[in-house]
Amino acid sequence: MRQLIDLPTPSSDKARTDKAPAHDSAKGHVSGTARYTDDVYRHAAMLHLAVGVSTKAHAQITKIDLDAVRSAPGVIDVFTSQDIPGHNEVGAVFPGDPLLVEGRVSYAGQPIFAVVADTLRHARQATSLAQIEYKSESPLLDPAVAIEENSVVLPKHVQRREAGQNIIDEAHREAPLPALESAQHRVSGRLDVGGQEHFYLEGQIAIAEPWEDDGLRVVTSTQHPSEVQKLVAEVIGIPLHRIVAEVRRMGGGFGGKESQAAPVGVLAALACWRTGRSVKFRMPREIDMRVTGKRHPFRSSYDVGFNDEGVIEAAKIELIGNCGYSPDLSEGVVDRAMFHADNAYYIGDALVIGHRAKTNTVSHTAFRGFGGPQGMLPIETVMDDIARTLGLDPLDVRKRNLYRTGKDETHYGQKVEQHLIGPMMETLEERSEYRSRRQKIAEFNKQSPIIKRGLALTPVQFGISFTATHLNQAGAIVRVYTDGSVLANHGGTEMGQGLHTKVCQVVARELGLSLENVRISATRTDKVPNTSPTAASSGADLNAMAARKAALEIKQRLFQFAQDEYALEPASMHLEENAFHATTLTGDAFTLSWPELVQQAYLHRIPLFSEGFYATPKIGYDKKTARGRPFYYYAYGAAVTEVEIDTLTGENRVRRVDILHDVGESLNPAIDRGQVEGGYIQGLGWLTTEELVWNDDGQLMTAGPSTYKIPAYSDAPIDFRVNLLEGHPNSEATIYHSKAVGEPPFMLAISAWAALRDAISSLSDYALNPVLNTPATPERILFACNKIRERQEDKVSA
Ligand code: MTE
Ligand code: HPA
Ligand code: MOS
């Protein structure tokens, strides 16, 4: 029996804007009045910082002469690692990241010294006058070679399930899987997956200014103000309470400002500390791209056994994350790749191995999906390869392998509880007319020798929670002023994703207010302390819940006051449309406007501010046994993409995309739709056009938009149909049963890559499996086409 899901009928504009108010900065964004860090201060007395970076990828510094830098026009201060008062370490989780190089250079672009000058131009010009001599060694750049040579930033992790049981015996964990050896059919292969530059519109930036009591205030574009505060304190050697880190908004973060905004803030802070003056640090785009980490490139291999129906019985998947020179966030990134090596499928007996290669590139970091996208690609390759091996439609193979009752435990022991993905795929299949289009495309390809079309429907099952369990906590404060206006703050940061809007909506809803009565101001570490980064898509899940608790506390106090003061029926009290309503004990209707209620409460000395705290329940993962429940729940999505390629040039475009995405009970459908569309396009860029190239010397050759191609307006799908799943609230008790939306849609773009492979394989009448590493640039598509044509000819002549 087919299980279909009702899609929404379009609602009126009015109903839509009530439920889906615009981003609180939407007008500011489009009119240019929303202020970013660079706009905060522009006074003449402010100093500017620039860094001198390594020109070698792997070397020992033999001589540094900065005299010419010091005497350059406008230069006020120059410092190196020798001048750091506290410790020279800005590693996010593990040590290994010096703020400034100490003798050894680990990648081309690593900061060696800082210059502070009266103008930005003077600071940047002075950096070029440094005399630095190196004793160069050959850089290690290939992650597979790194693993062979045991060059790792952290030890490997292994997950194993055999005969349905997780194997915790260390010695046996990596032994061959018997079920793989005995399977009827097998596919195996290797896949190289490229990294990705964040290309936030606003680059990394921070301003530090002297603050009272020998303290510092750092205005910074960061997803993690508490980390900036902590590292500034450690590098300078003063307690955290003397530093405040502040961020009003970022012009995009995408994970690139989770850990790697901190050194930028710390350098500005150190310069401010030394000079006693305000200092701004902002890099030119090219330097930003050389200095800061990117999405981890991965080298993966897979060996999968399956039966005649295309159902997987055993899978060995080995993932090598190229971490660059230091650990940064790579423990979590490779773990998440491993957690998502199954995507939405029950993979039978499983052996998943995750390696963390240490190479001489910049330290790779968080990027939307946090290893999940890289982890999912091998199993999606396998689905298509199984289909072509058995002559089945890839969609049928995918559907047969989905998690379902009885086959609902992941290879790391978490039970999949909300079985939405099957019905979602069925619905999308029908709505997108998958079957008839598949047939039409096959016919088109038969009569079109050069231009070929491809189609693919792929699922996403993305785990929500930080995989580092302790990060799943948040705090908020809500204050009601005597005029009834409300100011809220929480630990989350705004990077364009609409978090502040969602939190305002939640506070307004709890207090029965219209949205304009509630405001959120800059995130600051002296408002809410010890915050987690805004990441793992959990910003709203965590912070909106904390803010709701704070609002409920205030509501509780107001109700208690009103009940006593006006002799009211407790059950009758409620807040609605900016007013308080109740029935008196004598049965009369009672109403006060919200400002009146607040004013009365104030006069009766009722506290009108409160804090809230939230920690995600149920979660935990034991690295020793490689088993547990790392995620509170999963978010789902499915996409069908149709592409067209020119098999003589490799040029390609996306003709049509249909998406059905699960956000539970949406907090804001307009914002969520924006996240789905933006996520898909960003994923499409990662998989098709955005290519990072390092040359043999370890120099990044694609350090600017002329050589690094992000999706442009004209790359958007010609026909783009996005629907949010409705009527399926989160089965867990998240904020109003919504689901996180920030990262999951990114992986919907895997359907585009699978469709490209489908189009290429049409050259062999769908019999051969193309090798298509990512990004699938026109060159790679062309080479894959040529390869399939050659193999096809070999087959015919044999
Ligand atoms: N959307 C915009 N516009 N800008 C961003 O920088 N970052 C993404 C996603 N969507 C991002 C974005 C990433 S990597 C994450 S983890 C989430 O937003 C973070 O915000 P949330 O947890 O509030 O969803
Ligand atoms: N996702 C994103 N960022 C993170 C995570 C995660 O799971 N863990 C630590 N930082
Ligand atoms: Mo997002 S990669 O978790 O900042």
Amino acid 265 reads G
Q: Are 451 and 647 in contact (CB under 8 A)?
A: yes
Residues 6+ apart with CB under 8 A from 516: none
Atom of ligand 1 nearest to the CA of 257: 6
Mean pLDDT by 10 residues, the chain (798 residues): 56 62 94 93 87 98 98 98 96 95 97 98 98 98 98 97 80 93 98 98 97 94 98 96 98 98 98 97 97 98 98 98 98 98 98 98 98 98 98 98 96 97 98 98 98 98 96 98 98 98 98 97 98 98 98 98 98 98 98 98 98 98 95 98 98 98 98 98 98 98 97 93 97 98 98 98 97 98 97 83
Sheet holding 589-593, edge to edge: 574-576, 579-583, 589-593
Q: Enter the tokens of residue 83.
A: 């001048």
Tell the residue nearest (CA) to atom 5 of ligand 2. Answer: 466
pLDDT > 70 fraction of the chain, expressed in percent and rounded? 97
* Helices and strands of the chain, counted as H and E runs: 21, 30
Compute the distance from residue 741 Cα to the ligand 1 centre, in Å. Answer: 8
Evaluate: CB of 195 within 6 angstroms of ligand 1: no
Atom of ligand 1 nearest to the CA of 538: 22
Please state at what angle helix 330-339 crosses helix 372-390, rounded to 10 degrees.
Answer: 30
Compute the distance from residue 144 Cα to the ligand 1 centre, in Å. Answer: 31
Q: What is the largest CA-CA distance in the chain?
A: 97
Residue 583's Cα: distance from chain center in Å? 49
Strand 298-306 to strand 719-724: parallel, antiparallel, or no bridges (unpaired)? Answer: unpaired
Active site residue 743: yes
End-to-end CA distance of the chain: 45
Closest ligand by atom to 501 CA? 1
Evaluate: CB of 476 within 6 angstroms of ligand 1: no
Tell the residue nearest (CA) to atom 4 of ligand 3. Answer: 255
What is the pLDDT at residue 5? 67
Closest ligand by atom to 539 CA? 1
Compute the distance from residue 459 Cα to the ligand 2 centre, in Å. Answer: 22
Evaluate: CB of 253 within 6 angstroms of ligand 1: yes
What is the pLDDT at residue 165? 78
Closest ligand by atom to 632 CA? 2
Q: Are 197 and 210 in contact (CB under 8 A)?
A: no
Compute the distance from residue 222 Cα to the ligand 3 centre, in Å. Answer: 12
The region, left, alpha or beta by phi > 0 then psi within -120 to 50, assigned to residue 779 is: alpha
Q: Are 784 and 668 in contact (CB under 8 A)?
A: no
What is the pLDDT at residue 161? 95
Compute the distance from residue 355 Cα to the ligand 2 centre, in Å. Answer: 17
Tell the residue nearest (CA) to atom 1 of ligand 2. Answer: 536
Atom of ligand 1 nearest to the CA of 252: 6
Compute the distance from residue 297 Cα to the ligand 2 centre, in Å. Answer: 17
Ligand 1 pocket test, candidate residues 254, 465, 667, most atoms within 8 A of CB: 254
Ligand 2 pocket test, candidate residues 94, 258, 534, 743, most atoms within 8 A of CB: 258
Burial (0-12, 13-18, 19+ Cβ within 10 Å), 239? exposed
Burial (0-12, 13-18, 19+ Cβ within 10 Å), 564? exposed
Closest ligand by atom to 532 CA? 2
Which residues sit opposite 627 in a β-bridge? Answer: 622
Compute the distance from residue 426 Cα to the ligand 2 centre, in Å. Answer: 32
What is the pLDDT at residue 13? 52
Atom of ligand 1 nearest to the CA of 537: 22
CB atoms within 10 A of CB 529: 14
CA triplet 334, 335, 341: central angle to 5 degrees?
A: 85
What is the pLDDT at residue 11? 52
Atom of ligand 3 nearest to the CA of 536: 3
Residue 287's Cα: distance from chain center in Å? 23
Transcribe 69-113 into DSSP letters.
Answer: HHTSTTEEEEE-GGG-SS-S---SSSS---SS--SEE-STT-EEE
Ligand 3 site, CB within 6 A: 223, 255, 258, 366-368, 370, 535-536, 743
